[in-house]
Amino acid sequence: MTKYIFITGGVLSGLGKGTVAASIAKLLQFRGFSVSMIKCDPYLNVDAGTMNPIEHGENFVCENVWEFEPAKGFVFRIAEVDQDFGTYERFIGKNVHPSHNITSGQIYLSVILRERIGEYLGKTIQIIPHITDEIKRRILEIANEGSDIILVEIGGTVGDIEGMPFLEAIRQLRNSMAKEDTMLIHVTYVPYLKTIGQLKTKPTQHSVQRLLQAGLTPDAIVARCELPLTLDEKKKISLFSGVPIEAVISAPDLNVVYALPIVFEQQGFGDYIIRRLNLIPAENPRIGLKEWEDIVKLFMMDNPSIRIAMVGKYTRIVDSYISINEALKHAGAHERVSVEITYIDAENYEVKDLESYDGILLTPGFGKRATEGMIKAARFALRKHIPFLGICYGAQLATVAFARDVMKWKDAHTTEVNPYTSYPVVDLLPWQKNVQTKGGTMRLGGIGVFIKKGTRLWNAYKQKYVIERFRHRYHIIRDYAEKMMNEGYVINAEDEEKNIAGFEVSWHDFFLGVQFHPEFKSRPWAPSPPYREFIRAIKRKLELN
């Protein structure tokens, strides 16, 4: 019998419910249980693919592409999901299917299209029962995958009008199941007022009241706070929420996010969940607490620092590049260096701003804005022999930089920005030229990549064939790349369709670009090979080996 843990949030957004959910999943893995993760997002977009990272954070790409069919005759390809899926995968160590990201857009689209083709003839379509029934159907469908426990995170905060159908669906699900088969964990914010030196629990009390008004009673409260809760503060929250004091859990600010499962374990949270769900832990779990503690220790070591400039278009919020941030940290921890990241707004900086950095990373993106600033950073790294890594759009614009700087093709560009360039070194994929819309039409998901032996990319992977995740519609044009080869431009990888998947510069210490997104597959215990090779190149340059 599958068990369900529902995770809601209150007071304000951005509390880190995804990290809390992933940490709870880790507690269950420590005890030998198989877990699946679901994220319910109340926004009306069908998926996260068309959303600006500055507004919503990173668009995470899954390994699988889901053929979403809301009604007969309507099919949408989905692989782009909420950034929390990256957190899930980095904690639980398994790929999560894009169908596990349930959005209001998907739910309403399904119900409306089914109404249009006649599935509800004679019925008045309403939020209850039709929308809530579709939410429940999607959640229960995932139970067929066979995991012991499914964790369902509800996006947004309790009280948001968009999230009400999801809360109602959860209420109905819980009422239809035995008490020991479901659990609700509420994540709230406990602010610390420095002027009086106290953590204040009143916002949590109000948040629990909003939850009760929705017909939901929490079984545990996780308090996000600057400092750990004292016993008195736990007693106060317990008194006003009706949650046992042992189920009031601190989630304080941490320097290493992967330490949160250990913090939960130290408070007895895992044992409480097991008792609440009437579960029997495995005698010899495959994923142990000791192994996870060793990983966390790796991130806490006192290592020499290296400075990396991350040049991009979406630097206003760090969540825009969360998987890249984590991939750099993973690589740094395993290479025994501390990575200090500085975000450089590609639209507003001077070249001299880059002089003090040990490495430059050119980030993914789309569109015309700030491209000249990104190209300028690549040209600087090329000329000054600074270790450089370009990801997706960053690799494309680095190719433009090589074409302009080395080949002297002064107006070389991507046709995404300049359709009339004399040297279109980056252009649409052939099949993309017939696509009329920009929404949900990119090349997505895990695709095989063949790596050429003897290249720096080969040094990173040490294997001929890998699967990496793609998200693009423009690519590097072979005719121009082959002309640039005479000047040291090296094609080091091709995908299954013979498109260029990566390049490097032979005469540079380390100048590497990849069309794919290796950061999406980086794990705390297994850093992404290109990122690790990038860190190694910086260490060599600084003679830190």
Q: What are phi and psi of 214, to 5 degrees?
A: -85, 5
**Euclidean distance between CA atoms 367 and 313, whole angstroms:** 10
pLDDT at 390 over 80: yes
> 196: pLDDT confidence band, cut at 50, 70 and 90?
confident
What confidence score (pLDDT) does residue 452 get?
97
Catalytic positions, please? 392, 517, 519
Look up the pTM and report it: 0.95
- Which residue has 């020991």 as its token pair? 180
Side chain identity at 204, as an amino acid letter? T
Average of pLDDT values for 164-192? 96
pLDDT at 185 over 70: yes
Cβ atoms of 292 and 262 closer than 8 Å: yes
pLDDT at 520 over 70: yes
> What crossing angle do the helices spanning 231-241 and 202-213 adopt, rounded to 10°?
30
Average of pLDDT values for 167-174? 97
> 436: pLDDT confidence band, cut at 50, 70 and 90?
low
What confidence score (pLDDT) does residue 439 get?
64
| Alpha carbon 137 to its chain's center | 25
pLDDT at 437 over 70: no
Share of the chain above pLDDT 70, in %: 98
- Which residue has 């074409």 as its token pair? 403
Which segments of 262-369 are extended strands (E)? 305-312, 338-345, 359-362
Average of pLDDT values for 364-383? 95
pLDDT at 158 over 80: yes
**Euclidean distance between CA atoms 363 and 310, whole angstroms:** 7
Token duo for residue 32: 């030998």
Cβ atoms of 361 and 324 closer than 8 Å: yes
> Which domains does the chain carry?
3-294 (3.40.50.300), 301-542 (3.40.50.880)
> 430: pLDDT confidence band, cut at 50, 70 and 90?
confident
CA dist 68 to 65, 114, 132, 453, Å?
9, 14, 19, 38
- Which residue has 């600033």 as its token pair? 373
Average of pLDDT values for 65-84? 93
**Euclidean distance between CA atoms 241 and 269, whole angstroms:** 17
Burial class (CB in 10 A: 0-12, 13-18, 19+), 484: buried
pLDDT at 433 over 90: no
Burial class (CB in 10 A: 0-12, 13-18, 19+), 95: middle
User: CA-CA-CA-CA torsion for 341, 345, 350, 352, nearest 10 degrees?
Assistant: 10
Three-state DSSP at 449 gives strand
Q: What is the mean pLDDT of the chain?
A: 94
Cβ atoms of 376 and 351 closer than 8 Å: yes
Residue, of 282 and 366, whose pLDDT is higher: 366
**Euclidean distance between CA atoms 36 and 38, whole angstroms:** 7
Q: Read off the DSSP letter of residue 475.
A: E
Q: In what order do the strands lie in the sheet with 413-414?
A: 413-414, 424-428, 474-476
Provide the pairing of β-strand 192-193 with 198-199: antiparallel
**Euclidean distance between CA atoms 421 and 341, whole angstroms:** 34
Token duo for residue 167: 């809360």
9-44 confidence digits (pLDDT tens): 998 888 899 999 999 999 999 999 999 999 999 999
pLDDT at 285 over 80: no
Token duo for residue 189: 């914010």
> 508: pLDDT confidence band, cut at 50, 70 and 90?
very high
Q: Give the chain's length.
A: 545
> 69: pLDDT confidence band, cut at 50, 70 and 90?
very high
Is the previous residue joined to 129 through a cis bond, with omega within 30 degrees of 0? yes
Q: Read off the DSSP letter of residue 97.
A: -
CA-based nearest residue to 81, from 35, 4, 34, 18: 18
Cβ atoms of 65 and 75 closer than 8 Å: no
What confidence score (pLDDT) does residue 317 get?
82
pLDDT at 286 over 70: no
Residue, of 1 and 239, whose pLDDT is higher: 239
**Sequence-distant (≥ 6) Cβ neighbours of residue 355 within 8 angstroms:** none
Share of the chain above pLDDT 90, in %: 85
Which segments of 72-219 are extended strands (E)? 74-81, 101-103, 149-154, 182-190, 192-193, 198-199
What confidence score (pLDDT) does residue 438 get?
67
Q: How many CA atoms are closer than 13 Å to the CA of 113, on its beta-carbon side? A: 16
Produce one character per residue of 338-354: b if its CB has 16 or more CB atoms within 10 Å, e if not: ebebebbebeebeeebb
Cβ atoms of 77 and 66 closer than 8 Å: yes
Average of pLDDT values for 236-240? 91
**Euclidean distance between CA atoms 251 and 15, whole angstroms:** 10
What confidence score (pLDDT) does residue 431 get?
75
